[in-house]
């Protein structure tokens, strides 16, 4: 069983170095296996390098899929991070 | 040897060559029973690398705190599965040494990054390279940047310095930077200037001519460097260094004082900026306002157009932080040398003469309205002015005013507050605008002379074209006459006249600006203290005489001689500020 959510990247510069760092850092705090999916391409959400190679400018629609003991917690936390524009004005 | 002066100052000391390109990684096969210890060796090195970065983060000087994110990103990359897990897997499966496994992982990441379209993200590969180099250095027992151990300060000479290199060098131990790559706007240059460390960039082949431990003299004012200098050179530059330090301290102390000439003529010295981040430096340098806020940055590097709210936020940030000093917002100037992926225009054989700047805005009217609405909304919160680029005559300004009225009506209908009396200005950068300046002055509240494009358009010279670039010359008498004519037309009509091109930030030209009686000049923040200093040393009456003489010059050479004579006669003590210009002129 796995759960997934759909999100849209809305901060101005997209998933650039700093937001990507915060994203993978937060993902790493959960035990679940977390994948980031864009147009059918999947990467490990805990790897900043993989997240960067996905190249997500602002407006990109993404799916986050999580599977594991804390999957719902992880998805909620990541969703909040994205929806608050990574808690920074950049 | 000579390069581009990227940060002023004089340094005399020993060389430390930082060259990563010569790193050689050998492939070694290991035995099965060694695999476990090789993996452990890699883990230990990664651990140590993390500790090194942590130590740098702790000792980061305050001026560089904004760059902390770079090192924090390095921490994450260090333990990233694409680096660590992949390398461990490689050691276990192929039974190779950790150094080689790391190289293999790095090459894989390089290939993936090579496909990324966004240049900002693609260039992060340099951070990955930095991180891997750090681990490899620890593995091989060599220290990449053993600056922490250096007890004596050194001049760092490198092929190129990454942002991370520059910020992690212990600045107390760095006398100067010399690099083979780079430009005045590269990261090394910007950081060196913010730290006040001399830097010379674009010195071709320097790492081949100089070795760690040798003596070097670096003149960041002129861009000269001397390897293995003799006693005379050392004596000369020791003097120059002392003068420079004394000079700079005096200038910085006075940078907040107004720029008024000895005989009471005052000029408002303002900053050209692109990002709100630059405001702190601008204010600290003594800027009396933002004379040019370039807005292109908000549009580039993305696939869609910024919303009105985004523009509002960005402008608001600048206006709020600059308040009560004014901010001049220039509407979008793209299509000439900057293009947007969100707004493709069909290829033009001559983009500089094509659909760009105000022409693009008047064609893509939604694009224009979004900007105008955002600007007017911000006008309720502080002092701002609007500047329109690439105006060729009165018809554009008449069209603009029709749109401005629609925008104001919209806002009124929506009950959104705004300043009814926002000042409007035009860039004087198209030759016909100069010819029409007397009538344009009746239509607007201020002029801002954009010398870069004005020279390019009126002399018919493409600065990027190496065959004609040497002909580009702000001292061409025709250019001086155009500036003079525009300034006079504005003055007769009682409107403010300013200049925001590169010419405005060149201290050697400052007496000309004073003599033309410009009300304001706007420039990069690091020029402000120098230019203010020169203005205080000038006598406006003498400067007006200088301009009168320049207007009679027949050739650029003649104009240059008149200016040099003036500088030598009236500003002999300011030679260090005007000297770079004299050197540039000598090269022509």
If asked whether residues B135 and B161 sit together in one domain, one would say no
What are φ and ψ of residue B177, in 5° steps?
Answer: -115, 140
Domain final residue pick, B226, B250, B274: B250
Using alpha carbons only, how large is chain A's radius of gyration in Å? 12
Q: What is the CATH number of the domain that holds A51?
A: 3.30.1340.10
Cβ burial of B51 (10 Å; 0-12, 13-18, 19+) is: exposed
N- to C-terminal Cα separation, chain B: 18
- Which of B210-214, B250-254, B461-465, B495-499 has the weakest average pLDDT? B461-465
* Residue B359, pLDDT above cutoff 90: yes
pLDDT digits (tens, 9 = 90+) for B544-561: 999 999 999 999 999 999
Identify whether B148 is part of a domain: no
Report helix, strand or coil for B446. Answer: strand
If asked whether residues B104 and B135 sit together in one domain, one would say yes
Task: Output b/e per residue, B71-93; b: 16+ Cβ within 10 A.
Answer: bbbbbbbbbbbbbbebbbebbee
Domain final residue pick, B215, B250, B285: B250
If asked whether residues B294 and B178 sit together in one domain, one would say no
Nearest residue, CB atoms, A21 vs list B73, B117, B298: B73
Identify whether B147 is part of a domain: no
Identify whether B204 is part of a domain: yes
Chain B residues in contact with A17 (beta carbon < 8 A)? 69, 73, 120-121, 124, 127
* Distance to chain B for A90, nearest Cα, Å: 10
Contact across the interface for A58 and B82, Cβ inside 8 Å? no
* Distance to chain B for A34, nearest Cα, Å: 13
Q: Give whole-number Cα distances, A15 to A19, A51, B30, B64, B567, in Å.
A: 5, 8, 40, 24, 52
Per-residue pLDDT band for A9 (boundaries 50, 70, 90) equals confident
Q: What is the CATH number of the domain that holds B161?
A: 3.50.30.10
Question: Which of A16-20, B22-26, B454-458, B482-486 is the most confident on average?
Answer: B482-486
If asked whether residues B271 and B353 sit together in one domain, one would say yes
If asked whether residues B172 and B289 sit together in one domain, one would say no
If asked whether residues B118 and B171 sit together in one domain, one would say no
pLDDT score, position B64: 67
pLDDT digits (tens, 9 = 90+) for B290-342: 999 988 878 876 778 999 999 999 999 999 999 999 999 999 998 766 667 67
CB–CB of A18/B69 below 8 Å?
Answer: yes
Q: Percentage of chain B surpassing pLDDT 70?
A: 90
Identify whether B444 is part of a domain: yes
Contact across the interface for B116 and A13, Cβ inside 8 Å? no
User: What is this model's ipTM?
Assistant: 0.84
pLDDT digits (tens, 9 = 90+) for B277-286: 678 778 888 9
Bridge partners of residue B292, in order along the sequence: B272
* Distance to chain B for A23, nearest Cα, Å: 11
- Which of B178-182, B264-268, B319-323, B328-332 has the weakest average pLDDT? B178-182
Q: Tell me the average pLDDT of chain B.
A: 87
If asked whether residues B243 and B170 sit together in one domain, one would say yes
Contact across the interface for A13 and B302, Cβ inside 8 Å? yes
Q: What is the CATH number of the domain that holds B104?
A: 1.10.274.10
Identify whether B16 is part of a domain: no
Chain A residues in contact with B306 (beta carbon < 8 A)? 12
* Residue A88, pLDDT above cutoff 70: no
Report helix, strand or coil for B427. Answer: strand
Beta strands in B117-164 (DSSP E): 154-158
- Which of A8-17, B313-322, B360-369 has the weakest average pLDDT? A8-17
Nearest residue, CB atoms, B80 vs list A14, A47, A57: A47
Report helix, strand or coil for B161. Answer: coil
Give the position of tokens 């190289």: B103
Return the closest-CA partner of residue B385 out of B321, B335, B315. Answer: B315
* Distance to chain A for B89, nearest Cα, Å: 16
Between helix B365-379 and helix B308-322 the angle, nearest 10°, is 40
Chain B residues in contact with A26 (beta carbon < 8 A)? none
Nearest CA in chain A to B67: A18
Contact across the interface for A47 and B82, Cβ inside 8 Å? yes
* Distance to chain B for A53, nearest Cα, Å: 6
Per-residue pLDDT band for B434 (boundaries 50, 70, 90) equals very high
Beta strands in B481-575 (DSSP E): 496-499, 520-523
Chain A residues in contact with B298 (beta carbon < 8 A)? 12
Identify whether B385 is part of a domain: yes
Per-residue pLDDT band for B186 (boundaries 50, 70, 90) equals low
If asked whether residues B507 and B577 sit together in one domain, one would say yes
CB–CB of A59/B303 below 8 Å?
Answer: yes
* Residue A37, pLDDT above cutoff 80: yes
Distance of alpha carbon B235 from alpha carbon B271, whole angstroms: 37
Give the position of tokens 């500036």: B483
If asked whether residues B199 and B217 sit together in one domain, one would say yes
Chain A residues in contact with B124 (beta carbon < 8 A)? 17, 52
Distance of alpha carbon A60 from alpha carbon A46, whole angstroms: 19
Helices (H), B173-257: 187-195, 206-209, 231-254
Per-residue pLDDT band for A90 (boundaries 50, 70, 90) equals very low
Identify whether B1 is part of a domain: no
- B318 assigned to active site: no
Nearest residue, CB atoms, A49 vs list B118, B128, B301: B128
Cis peptide bond N-terminal to B471, omega within 30: no
Domain of A64, in residue numbers: 3-87
If asked whether residues B159 and B230 sit together in one domain, one would say yes
Identify whether B6 is part of a domain: no
What DSSP element (H or E) covers B284? helix B279-284
Domain count, chain A: 1
* Residue A5, pLDDT above cutoff 80: yes
Domain of B118, in residue numbers: 25-140
pTM of structure: 0.60
If asked whether residues B290 and B414 sit together in one domain, one would say yes
Bridge partners of residue B388, in order along the sequence: B426
Stretch B33-45: mean pLDDT: 93
Return the closest-CA partner of residue B286 out of B248, B253, B323. Answer: B253
pLDDT digits (tens, 9 = 90+) for B138-163: 887 765 555 445 567 899 998 888 76
Return the closest-CA partner of residue B300 out of A82, A36, A12. Answer: A12
Return the closest-CA partner of residue B501 out of B524, B482, B480. Answer: B524
If asked whether residues B504 and B363 sit together in one domain, one would say yes
Distance of alpha carbon B532 from alpha carbon A36, whole angstroms: 54
Domain final residue pick, B250, B278, B293: B250
Q: Give the mutation candidate from B50, B76, B298 for the A interface (greatest A CB count, under 10 A).
A: B76
Domain count, chain B: 3
CB–CB of B437/B397 below 8 Å?
Answer: no
Q: What's the CA angle centered on A21, arms A16 and A26, to 5 degrees? A: 130
Residues 117-176 of B with CB under 8 A from A: 117-118, 120-121, 124, 127-128
Helices (H), B328-450: 357-363, 365-379, 394-413, 431-435, 437-443
- B500 assigned to active site: yes
């Amino acid at each position: 069983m796995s759960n997934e959510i759909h999100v849209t990247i809305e901060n101005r510069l997209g998933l650039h170095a700093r937001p990507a760092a915060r994203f993978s850092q937060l993902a790493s705090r959960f035990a679940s296996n977390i994948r980031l999916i864009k147009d059918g391409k999947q990467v490990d959400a805990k790897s900043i390098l993989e997240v960067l190679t996905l190249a997500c400018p602002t407006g990109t629609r993404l799916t986050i899929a999580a599977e594991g003991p804390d999957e719902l917690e992880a998805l909620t936390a990541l969703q909040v991070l994205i929806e608050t524009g990574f808690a920074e004005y950049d | 040897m000579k390069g581009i002066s990227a940060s002023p100052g004089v340094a005399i000391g020993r060389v430390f060559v930082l060259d990563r390109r010569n790193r050689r990684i050998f492939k070694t096969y290991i035995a099965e029973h060694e695999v476990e210890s090789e993996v452990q060796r890699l883990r230990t090195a990664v651990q140590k690398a993390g500790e090194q970065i942590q130590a740098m983060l702790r000792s980061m000087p305050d001026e560089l705190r904004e760059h902390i994110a770079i090192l924090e990103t390095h921490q994450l990359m260090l333990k990233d599965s694409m680096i660590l897990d992949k390398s461990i897997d490689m050691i276990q499966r192929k039974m190779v040494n950790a150094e080689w496994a790391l190289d293999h992982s790095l090459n894989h990441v390089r290939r993936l990054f090579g496909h990324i379209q966004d240049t900002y993200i693609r260039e992060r590969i340099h951070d990955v390279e930095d991180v891997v180099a750090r681990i490899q250095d620890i593995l091989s027992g060599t220290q990449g940047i053993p600056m922490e151990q250096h007890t004596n300060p050194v001049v760092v000479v490198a092929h190129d310095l990454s942002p991370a290199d520059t910020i992690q060098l212990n600045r107390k131990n760095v006398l100067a930077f010399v690099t083979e790559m780079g430009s005045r706007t590269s990261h090394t240059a910007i950081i060196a200037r913010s730290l006040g460390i001399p830097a010379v960039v674009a010195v071709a082949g320097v790492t081949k001519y100089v070795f760690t431990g040798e003596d070097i003299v670096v003149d960041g004012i002129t861009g000269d460097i001397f390897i293995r200098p003799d006693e005379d050179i050392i004596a000369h530059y020791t003097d120059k260094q002392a003068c420079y330090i004394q000079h700079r301290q005096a200038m910085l102390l006075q940078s907040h004082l107004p720029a008024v000439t000895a005989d009471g003529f005052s000029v408002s010295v303002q900053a050209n900026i692109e990002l709100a981040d630059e405001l702190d430096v601008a204010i600290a340098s003594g800027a009396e306002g933002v004379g040019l806020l370039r807005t292109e940055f908000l549009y580039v590097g993305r696939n869609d157009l910024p919303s009105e709210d985004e523009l509002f936020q960005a402008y608001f940030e600048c206006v709020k932080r600059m308040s009560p000093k004014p901010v001049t917002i220039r509407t979008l100037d793209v299509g000439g040398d900057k293009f947007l992926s969100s707004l493709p225009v069909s290829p033009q054989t001559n983009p500089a003469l094509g659909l760009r700047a105000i022409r693009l805005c008047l064609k893509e009217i939604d694009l224009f309205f979004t900007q105008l609405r955002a600007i007017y909304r911000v006008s309720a919160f502080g002092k701002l002015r609007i500047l329109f680029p690439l105006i060729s005559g009165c018809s554009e300004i008449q069209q603009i005013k029709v749109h401005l009225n629609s925008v104001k009506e919209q806002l009124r209908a929506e009950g959104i507050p705004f300043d009814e009396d926002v000042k409007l200005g035009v860039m004087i950068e198209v030759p016909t605008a100069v010819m029409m300046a007397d009538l344009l002055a009746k239509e607007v509240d201020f002029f801002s002379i954009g010398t870069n494009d004005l020279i390019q358009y009126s002399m018919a010279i493409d600065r990027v074209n190496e065959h004609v670039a040497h002909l580009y010359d702000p001292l061409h008498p025709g250019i001086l006459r155009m500036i003079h004519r525009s300034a006079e037309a504005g003055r007769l009509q009682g409107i403010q006249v300013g200049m925001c091109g590169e010419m405005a930030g060149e201290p050697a030209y400052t007496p000309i600006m004073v003599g033309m009686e410009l009300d304001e000049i706007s420039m990069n923040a690091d020029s402000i203290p120098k230019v203010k200093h020169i203005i205080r040393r000038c006598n406006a009456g003498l400067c007006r005489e200088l301009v009168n003489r320049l207007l009679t010059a027949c050739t650029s050479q003649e104009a240059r001689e008149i200016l040099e004579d003036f500088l030598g006669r009236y500003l002999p003590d300011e030679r260090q500020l005007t000297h770079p210009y004299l050197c540039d002129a000598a090269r022509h």
